[in-house]
């Protein structure tokens, strides 16, 4: 679970001057802590930091607890000297919560108060906005990136939606940091756009990349038992709509390979996998690599996304989307439908079963176009409704996100045994396609359900990568 460091700030000089102010502000901080916990985070609460010594202690606490984000709740005026030590020591992204306790001060009641000391104390309880420029100035001079959420402490759901987005983004960043990505085989020769720098992937996302040989999968396939095949056939039958023209022999072959894939994932504790194998006459390798689509689709649906054609950048995008719970199916442009103003997109598998429109059909293919062999494939459309496309591209020695929000819409698809969907975007398709291509994506991308560009932008900021949103 993602860990969130939380601290409020105040000024210790105020407490003996204004009765109950400290307790009132601590109560506000408790409200924030409760709301953040409701969003699914483990909250490490450093309390109300009102002196430099407490700031040093809070920084040590966050460092020791290995927090993923720090939320700084500005309760009233406070010195920036009580902020910088915390954030500098924690060394993680900081979100400044500039939240007013009420929509407005009750001016009439306030001005009727006869005790000017109490008036000042009341004003200070509404003074959250006051030190934010000072804090921003210090962060900028210290080279510390920061992000702001401004609004109301009570009754402002936009505030907590923003906070939830940051927590979701931090959870993805944490997952990617500890993810073990398997790469098996080699690149599809000539697809220059998908080649990537593995060191750059680790430097950007963290994680570990396990380089494997296809022979290892072939060896595991040889150990699969008939009982394991039978159990996997049941799994396939429950997950997919197997078409009558799929032969029993091909189904068993796919099931054996699916079991071997499970064993490979378990052996290396993989959280994702990219693969491709052209083959050079080794029958065992050709057998497994022409029967992986069903097993890879099952893995993808079980939070181990798999990308074909050794598409490492794209399986990273798929893992991001899967961690967000929105799918992350492997896809590419097929064609443009100018009559209906939609773009057709899909791929020859694997698919993400969790985001399918209806049941996924399994069909036999007599040839894997552009590849060796034949076997079973999946035919799926992405569930109708809002979708987001994510491409991770290399540009000038760094990674960047290219994102578009659109809709998966009903209509005729190509029933060719591949994934296939119709997408409509806010831009006309000429403008959309030219805009998307202008930013240099690879020809593959990941598609997920829902409009999640706002969360992806937060993730990009946490990771320190550029994000381009086409629409």
Question: For residue 230, what are the contacts with CB-CB under 8 A and spacing of at least 6?
Answer: none
pLDDT band at 282 (very low <50, low <70, confident <90, very high): confident
**Residue 57 has what pLDDT?**
98
Percent of the chain with pLDDT over 90: 79
Task: Give the chain's end-to-end CA distance (angstroms, integer).
Answer: 32
Per-residue pLDDT at 112 exceeds 90: no
Mean pLDDT for the chain overall: 93
Assigned architecture for domain 179-469: Alpha-Beta Barrel (3.20)
Per-residue pLDDT at 188 exceeds 90: no
pLDDT band at 371 (very low <50, low <70, confident <90, very high): low
Q: CA separation (Å) from 199 to 143, 172, 207, 312?
A: 25, 20, 11, 12
Q: Comparing 467 with 366, which gets the higher pLDDT?
A: 467
Query: Is the alpha carbon torsion for 282, 283, 286, 287 positive or negative?
Result: negative
* Nearest Cα to Cα of residue 183 among 174, 172, 170, 196: 196
Question: For residue 43, what are the contacts with CB-CB under 8 A and spacing of at least 6?
Answer: 4, 6, 33, 36, 37
Residue 412: burial class (beta carbons within 10 Å; 0-12, 13-18, 19+): exposed
* Torsion from C-alpha of 201, 203, 204, 205, nearest 10 degrees: 70
Q: Where are the beta strands (DSSP E) in 366-415?
A: 375-379, 385-395, 398-409
Rg (CA), the chain: 27
Per-residue pLDDT at 370 exceeds 60: no
CATH 3.40.50.10940 region(s) of the chain?
3-176
Q: Which 3 state secondary structure label does DSSP give 327? A: strand
Q: What's the rounded Cα separation, in Å, for the pair 306 and 319?
A: 9
Q: What's the rounded Cα separation, in Å, for the pair 407 and 202?
A: 32
Edge-first strand listing for the sheet containing 360-365? 240-242, 360-365, 375-379
DSSP for 123-155? HHHT-TTTTHHHHHHHHHHHT--EEEEEEESSS
Q: For residue 86, how many other CB atoms are within 10 A of its CB?
A: 26
Per-residue pLDDT at 128 exceeds 90: no
How many CA atoms are closer than 13 Å to the CA of 62, on its beta-carbon side? 29
Give, as one character, the DSSP assignment of residue 356. B
* Torsion from C-alpha of 453, 455, 456, 462, nearest 10 degrees: 150
CATH 3.20.14 region(s) of the chain?
179-469
Query: Which residues share a beta bridge with 423?
Result: 343, 408
How many CA atoms are closer than 13 Å to the CA of 374, on its beta-carbon side? 9
Q: Comparing 361 with 458, which gets the higher pLDDT?
A: 458
* Nearest Cα to Cα of residue 262 among 292, 290, 239: 292
**Residue 208 has what pLDDT?**
98
Q: CA separation (Å) from 238 to 224, 273, 290, 294, 298?
A: 21, 24, 22, 12, 11
Per-residue pLDDT at 58 exceeds 80: yes
Query: Which residues share a beta bridge with 84?
Result: none
Instruction: Give pLDDT tens digits for 153-185.
Output: 999 999 999 999 999 999 999 999 999 999 999
Give, as one character, the DSSP assignment of residue 438. H
**Residue 189 has what pLDDT?**
86
Residue 383: burial class (beta carbons within 10 Å; 0-12, 13-18, 19+): middle
Least confident of 37-46, 162-171, 188-197, 390-399: 188-197
**Residue 367 has what pLDDT?**
62
Per-residue pLDDT at 1 exceeds 60: yes
Could you confirm whether domain 3-176 is CATH 2.40.110.10?
no
**Residue 286 has what pLDDT?**
87
Least confident of 69-78, 201-210, 256-265, 272-281: 272-281
Q: Check if the beta carbon of residue 181 is closer than 8 Å to that of residue 271.
A: yes
Instruction: Give pLDDT tens digits for 316-344.
Output: 999 999 999 999 999 988 899 999 999 99
Per-residue pLDDT at 440 exceeds 60: yes
* Nearest Cα to Cα of residue 318 among 442, 208, 180, 446: 446
- Rounded to an integer, the average pLDDT of 113-130 is 84
Instruction: Give pLDDT tens digits for 210-264.
Output: 999 999 999 999 999 999 999 999 999 999 999 999 999 999 999 999 999 999 9
**Residue 366 has what pLDDT?**
64
- Rounded to an integer, the average pLDDT of 141-147 is 95
Q: Check if the beta carbon of residue 444 is closer than 8 Å to that of residue 330.
A: yes
Instruction: Give pLDDT tens digits for 283-323.
Output: 888 888 888 999 999 999 999 999 989 999 999 999 999 99
* Nearest Cα to Cα of residue 79 among 175, 11, 126: 11
Per-residue pLDDT at 369 exceeds 70: no
């Amino acid at each position: 679970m993602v860990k969130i460091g939380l601290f409020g700030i105040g000024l210790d000089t105020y407490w003996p001057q204004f009765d109950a102010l400290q307790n009132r502000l601590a109560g506000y901080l408790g409200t924030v802590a409760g709301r953040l916990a409701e969003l699914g985070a483990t909250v490490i609460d450093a309390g109300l930091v009102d002196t430099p010594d407490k700031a040093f202690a809070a920084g040590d606490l966050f460092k020791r607890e290995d927090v993923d984000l720090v939320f700084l709740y500005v309760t009233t005026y406070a010195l920036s000297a009580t902020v910088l030590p915390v954030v500098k020591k924690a060394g993680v992204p900081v979100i400044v919560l500039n939240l007013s306790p009420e929509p407005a001060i009750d001016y009439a009641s306030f001005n009727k108060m006869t005790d000017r000391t109490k008036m000042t104390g009341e004003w200070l309880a509404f003074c959250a906005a006051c030190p934010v420029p000072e804090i921003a100035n210090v962060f900028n001079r210290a080279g510390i990136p920061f992000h702001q959420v401004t609004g109301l402490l009570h009754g402002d759901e936009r505030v907590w939606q923003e906070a939830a987005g940051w927590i979701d983004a931090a959870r993805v960043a944490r997952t990617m940091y500890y993810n073990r990505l398997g790469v098996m085989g080699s690149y599809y020769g000539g697809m220059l756009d998908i080649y990537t720098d593995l060191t750059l992937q680790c430097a950007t996302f963290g994680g570990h990349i396990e380089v494997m040989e296809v022979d290892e999968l072939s060896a595991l396939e040889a150990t699969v038992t008939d009982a394991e095949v039978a159990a996997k056939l049941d799994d396939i039958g429950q997950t997919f709509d197997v078409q009558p023209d799929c032969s029993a022999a091909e189904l068993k072959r796919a099931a054996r390979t699916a079991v071997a894939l499970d064993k490979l994932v378990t052996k290396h504790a993989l959280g994702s996998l990219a693969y491709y194998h052209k083959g050079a006459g080794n029958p065992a390798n050709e057998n497994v690599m022409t029967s992986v689509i069903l097993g890879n689709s099952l893995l993808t649906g079980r939070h181990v996304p798999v990308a074909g054609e050794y598409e490492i950048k794209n399986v990273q995008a798929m893992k991001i989307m899967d961690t967000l719970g929105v799918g992350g199916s492997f896809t590419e442009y097929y064609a443009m439908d100018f009559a209906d103003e939609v773009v057709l997109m899909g791929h020859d598998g694997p698919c993400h079963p969790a985001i399918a429109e209806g049941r996924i059909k399994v069909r036999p293919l007599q040839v894997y176009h552009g590849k060796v062999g034949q076997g079973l494939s999946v035919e799926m459309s992405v569930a109708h409704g809002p979708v987001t496309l994510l491409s991770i591209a290399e540009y000038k020695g760094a990674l960047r996100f290219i994102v578009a929000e659109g809709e998966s819409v009903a209509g005729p698809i190509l029933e060719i045994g591949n994934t296939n969907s119709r997408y409509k975007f806010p831009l006309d398709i000429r403008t959309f396609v030219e805009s998307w291509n202008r930013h240099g994506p690879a020809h593959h991308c990941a598609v997920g359900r829902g409009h999640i560009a706002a969360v992806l932008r937060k993730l990009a900021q946490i990771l320190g990568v550029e994000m381009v949103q086409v629409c």
